[in-house]
Structure formats: structure tokens, C-alpha cells
A and B are shown apart, each in its own frame.
Chain A
Amino acid sequence: MSDEVIKHNPLPLKERMKINRQHMPEQAPQARAANFEEVNLGYLPELAKQEALRCLACAKPNCMHDCPVGVKVREFIDLVLAGDYLGAAAKVREDNVLPAITGRVCPQDEQCEGGCVLGKKGSSVAIGHLERFVADYEQAVGKLGLPEIAPASGKKVAIVGSGPAGLSAAGDLIQRGHKVRVFEALHELGGVLVYGIPEFRLPKKIVRQEIDNLRAMGVEFETNVVVGKTVTIDELFGEEGYDALFVATGAGLPQFLNAPGENLNGVYSANEFLTRINLMRAYRFPEYDEPVYNCRGKDIAVVGGGNTAMDAVRTALRLGARNAYLIYRRSEAEMPARVEEIKHAKEEGIQLMTLTNPVEFLGDENGWLRAARCVRMELGEPDASGRRRPVAVTGSEFDLPITMAVIAVGTTANPLVQSTTPDLKTNKWGYIDADPETLRTSKRGVFAGGDIVTGGATVILAMGAGRKAAKSIHDYLATGAWEKVEPQKPALD
């Protein structure tokens, strides 16, 4: 089938391999380090076509297999070559309801692009950049390839949380003809996409567009509802008449280092620092009312090596920090952040302090942070994660003078839903127990997915869980059967 579809590339394979990967146009590091505008500017059609020419259209496409939602990469790239950008966007949307978002924030190097054959010898096809291009093109011309909606099923599904897992499930369920309402605890929709990821990496306008698209498809949203507090799961099933429910509340609670001095003024969790900036727009104080520590001219540090840590330290730099350090206890090779984010951070002037670990925060007489006491680390034997365990070097203590610190070392489960739903089973870390295939929980009609099941992961993995949940919820609504049954052979008709 694929040979029929993949037909627009005029070049023989050898020629395709001679083309270099097309560089993503971006704001100059000097300029962008002082503003909150998006770093990447996006491909123009010529660049996109040139990049698309590089695709070998493999018979066994690793890119699609390595994508958690199975985007038909080969097919959409071929439509780019055909100049049918809207068709390409519609092709992506068949599997991914948030392409403008994933094109920007997916860890492509570990997924689609990680599997690309071209990447073995040179650079992989820039699949993420192409996905972003077609999604932005579609938005710019205002002709959304919104999928068809099945006839109304008469069933109602409640989704708890409007982050990537919840939005993805909502998109799939509404297409299957169910009535869908998404409940959000905060005043703005999008979950981590609005409170966590900064404007310079994912403009809020993009998130609002994707949510408006879901609204156009018929999804209803209600903000300011903390399920577990404002309304319980049992009430949603009972008086509010929902037939199924998907819990996608994310990994909510910030982890701290439990180092002395962590309650000093000037020490933040990454969640708090980023929420003040992204959700509350504190970087525009006093035009916006929410305050945040004034980093201008100050020396600051962020602790951690993931995308959240990168977001926090680059945000502090944009707020005017004089020295912005990223303190990470392993080496750069072990950093979980996207390769592009580390590259961008370094270009902007972030100072990486790898193999370093803060052990205490020191305060002044007024209770404000004045320094972080750190130790140097070295890598020992591999630990349970397979990464080499960092070990403190004796006698290596030193004080790093800083007046703001942001702790970005991960999150744990938020217990709000679980604690008011006693028959919803959790594991020993407080995450919800859900079947890995069906995402069914211990409570009839309740499904769970995303970070509240797996612990902190990525936007696209949460979206993958949302898709899986939507399929599973649809099966449940169609059959009414809850107990897990062996898959039956399709009936012949």
C-alpha cells in the first residue's frame, strides 16, 4: 500500500542522502536571552520541502513505530512534498490531536527521529520541525482538517485534567460520538502546557488554538473544578450522570532535596517558579498582579537536569539574571533534557555545573538565601536506572553565592482524587494502579493515564496514554463489560 501512497519524491535514494538537514531558523541567542518570544521561528515552505526530500520512505518505518501515538510520518512527509500541507496536517491529526504542540516539545531525538535510518550515519529527518510546519500552516490559513464526528452515542465521559493526556483522550472520544466534558482545577486550560512549559518554547497562543479546535469539535470544558474537592468521582457518576471517567491529573506535587535551608526566602520549587511565570505572567509584574523574585542582576541557580530544569534556568536568564547556573549531580551525557534544549541553553549563556550537588542552603539574617553549599560528584557504578551513580567527592565542599534557587528534581503523585475515592487503588508511591493495556483502574468505569499512573514523563507519552484510554473507554461504553476479557477474533461479516 505504502508504495502507492509514497510517490511524490522525485529523487533517487542516493540523491536524497546528499541533502543536509535543514536548520530550524531561530532567534539569535543574544536577542532571545532577553525576551520571552519563541526561540524557534519555524520552517517556511521551501525549507520544509527541502527537508521532506530527505525522507527515504522506508518500507519498515521506525519513525512511526517509535512514536507513542503512531503518527504516519512517511505519509505526511510525502504530502508535504506534494505541496498538500493541509492534507499533511490532516494526516498527522488522524493520530495526534495536538500537532502544533508535539512538533515543539516532543523528545523527537528519542522517538521518531531516534529511529530514523538517516540518523545512523548523519542527521535524521527533522520530523518534529515538519510536524510543526504543517500544524502551523493549517492554523495560519484557518482551514482545519478537523476529523469527522461519529453519530451521537448517548454516552457521557468526564475527563479530569486538561493536560496533554486529558486533551488527547477528549479529541479521540468526541470523534467516536461521545459527549465529553473536561474538568480543570486551575483557571486556565492546558495543564502542564500552560503552567509548566514557558512561552519561549511553547507559546500559549498555540495551546489555546489546539483547545479551541477541540471545542470546535464539541468538547466541553469547565475550569475551577478540583475533582476530589469540588465534586467527587462518585458524584460525577451519580447525580451528574457520567458513564465513564478518565483521571489524567498529572504528577502534581513538587519534590524537594530535603536539604537544610530549603524554606529560606528565595528557594522555589520549579512548579512554583514556572507557575508564577507561565500561568500567572509574573514576568510582567506590575501589569499582572502575581509577583515573583526579581532576578535582575542577580546570581541564581536551578537544580536538576531535565526539561523542567532547563525551562526554569532559561526563564531566570530572561528575567535578567547576571549568572544563571544549572546544577546537576551527574554529567551532561546523563541529562534527561531534550538535546535541543541543552544546546539552546548553552548558546544563551547558561552555565552548566555538572557533577555538582547542593547539600545546604545558607541564609542571611533576614531569612533570604545567600549561597548554596555544594559538593563535587564523580560517577561510580551504574544504579537501578542504568546510569552511573553519582558519589560525593570528600572534601570538595564549596559555597556558590546565589540569591535564588529553583529545585527541579521531579514530582510525585498528587493525592487529591485518590484520597476521596477510597476504592481507587494506588501503588506504594501514590500513583494510580491502571492496567497498562486498557488503563482500567480498580474502580468500575474509571480509567487513568499519563503522569498520575507513570510518574513524571513527557507530553507525548501522556498523549499516548490519552489515546489508549479513549480506545479503551470506547470499548467499555460499547460493550458495558468491565472485567478484562481475552480479545476475541473479529466476527466475520
Chain B
Amino acid sequence: MFRIRRAEFLAPGIKRFTIEAPRIARKQKAGQFVIVRLHDHGERIPLTIACSDPERGTIDLIVQSIGKTTYLMNSLEAGDAILDVVGPLGKPSDVSLHGTVVVIGGGVGTAIAYPTAAAMKRAGNKVISIIGARTKELVILEEEVRAVSDATYVVTDDGSYGDKGLVTDKLKQLIQNGVPIHVVLAIGPVPMMRAVAETTRGERIHTIVSLNSIMVDGTGMCGGCRVSVEGKSEFACVDGPEFDAHKVDFAVLAKRNTMYRDMEHEALEEFKARAAEQVEEVRRQCRLEAASAAGGQQ
């Protein structure tokens, strides 16, 4: 059982959690993720680790309410607990001195891009960050990103904050202005990552994306997260989650991610109809678990 020490909304529907997970906190590197299961009827979902504190033994997760499990998780508060958290999984980001690195975060993808941006900066790179969001109130982690970037640009779809437009508009602008770019890291919705890949392909700029395919175990056992990379199947959980954007077949990824759309919709509607009851059930299970753990130690 993993106790939630802090929980606060960063934006509507986007919550930041600090969770006690000492083993994971000791080992986590930028780019890695955990699999969580909230309760004993729950599904296993992957969430990228935003940062960790090995001394305090905590990891931070940033979660956007999209389906039943993320809605349920975002209903939890400090003091609540999560039944299962396992990790850190996946390969860490390839952090080394490249020169100039452009880090692009779209929506909640910014939370995933941030730790790698910070690590790239520590490795001596010049870091240019582009944060994209639908609208002003969905811009997250701007301060943190600015603190680890040499330059930061914010773009919103509706122009309510920063420049109006897409992250690729800003990227194209940088390229046109002759800014030397050695690596681009893009994390966000599949269409955004695909658009970034197309923008940099002709320029031959090495581009990395972090893929959010559907997973179950997260250890390479099930193969559900397989993605087509240069025509070969690779597993996002153990071979990734980061891949060379110019080799990824985004069409296959987008299709595979829709596999359970109808059931996800059904589960979410059912959750919304009795949210309070289900949150209480998670709390009840965690109390039981805590009691049995305390009993076991005596």
C-alpha cells in the first residue's frame, strides 16, 4: 500500500500527487514510469514519474482525468492510499550532452517532459522548452519548466495565454530562425507527436517521443503495448517508452489506443453515476490493508 502524502490540482482535471514509495524513489530516473492499481477491482495503468525525492522516499505523479481510473485517482486526497504502485519501469531517457535540446510538452505531456528537460539541463545542454495547451488554465508546470530552460515558449490553441497556435508553429519558427537544434523531445497527444516528427524529419533533427500505449503488466510479459518501429514490433514498456520519432508508425499507435474506447466510455459513465461510493470503497480497502499490515508486523 502506498500512502498519498500530498495531492493538489494544478489545473482543472490535472492533479499532482506526492506518494510514499521509497524503493521506487531511490531508483527513478527521468523518463521512467510506474504502473498503479488503485483498488482490488482496479485496472493497471502506466503513469510517468514527474520527479522523486530519494531522501523522503516519495515520487510525484501528475494525472489528468480522462477515464474511470484517472477520475477515481483524482478524487483521492492526501492521507488516502493506493493499493499497488510498481516501478520504476521502462528505460530512462538518454540524457547526455547533445548541444541544444528542444523539449516540447503538450497538455499533461508537459509533466512527463519536465523531468527529462531538467536532466538535460543538468547534463550541460542548452534547453529550449515549448509548452502547449488548449487554453490558459490548462498550462501546467510553467514555473518549473522555466527554471530549467534557457528559453521557454507557451502556446495555446485559443491564444488565451502565450502565442496562439500549435507547438509545431513555434518549432518551425525556431528552425526558420536558424536556431541550431540537436535533439527534439516531444511528449503529448499522439497527433502532436506525429506532427512534431513530420516537422523535424526533413530537417534530419533527431527527435524522441515518449509513447503512451495501453499496458497491463509493464514488464514485457503481455506485449499489449507493442508499437511498430521501422516495421518491427517493440514493447513500449521495456524497449521504450522513448523511441526515435522518425521510426514510429503513429497510425498503428493511434488505432491500438482506441481498442477499448467503448468500454472505457461505459466504465466512466458508470463511475460518474456513483463516484462517492467508489472513492469510499478505495478508502475502505486501504484501511483494511493498513490494518492487516500493522497486524503482520506484531
Contact = CB atoms under 8 A, between A and B. Distances in A.
A187 B88 contact: no
Task: Tell me the dominant secondary structure on chain A's binding face.
Answer: loop
B160 interface: no
B224 A263 contact: no
Contact of B219 (A263, A294, A414): A414
Main secondary structure of the interface of B (DSSP, over half): mixed
B224 A187 contact: no
Interface in B31-56: 37, 41-44
Interface string B148-187: 0000000000000000000000000000000000000000
Interface residues on B, range: 35 or more
A493 interface: no
A275 B263 CA distance: 18
B68 interface: yes
B138 interface: no
Given A230-B27, A265-B256, A265-B258, A275 B222 contact: yes
A276 B214 CA distance: 12
B96 interface: no
Nearest to B266: A286
Interface stretch (B79-87, B109-117, B126-134): B79-87
A223 B289 CA distance: 13
Contacts of B24: 230
A268 B224 contact: yes
Interface in A391-438: 414-416
B126 to A, nearest CB: 32
Contact of A225 (B23, B216, B258, B260): B23
Nearest to B249: A263
Contacts of B27: 229-231
Interface residues of A, number: 42
A253 B41 contact: no
A360 B37 CA distance: 36
Given A265-B258, A367-B255, A272 B216 contact: yes
A253 B237 CA distance: 12
B216 A230 contact: no
A263 B222 contact: no
Contacts of B216: 272, 275-276, 280, 290
A269 B223 contact: yes
Interface in A271-287: 271-272, 275-276, 280-281, 285-287
Given A186-B217, A224-B86, A254-B222, A287 B37 contact: no
A289 interface: yes
Contacts of B235: 253
Interface string A226-262: 1001110000000000000000000011101010001
Contact of A291 (B223, B252, B260): B260
A366 B86 CA distance: 34
20 contacts: A186-B86, A187-B44, A195-B217, A224-B86, A229-B89, A253-B220, A253-B235, A262-B233, A263-B228, A263-B233, A271-B221, A271-B222, A271-B223, A275-B222, A276-B216, A285-B263, A286-B266, A288-B42, A288-B43, A414-B220
Q: Which 7 interchain pairs have the tightest Cβ spacing?
A: A367-B255, A272-B222, A289-B43, A291-B263, A290-B43, A224-B86, A187-B84
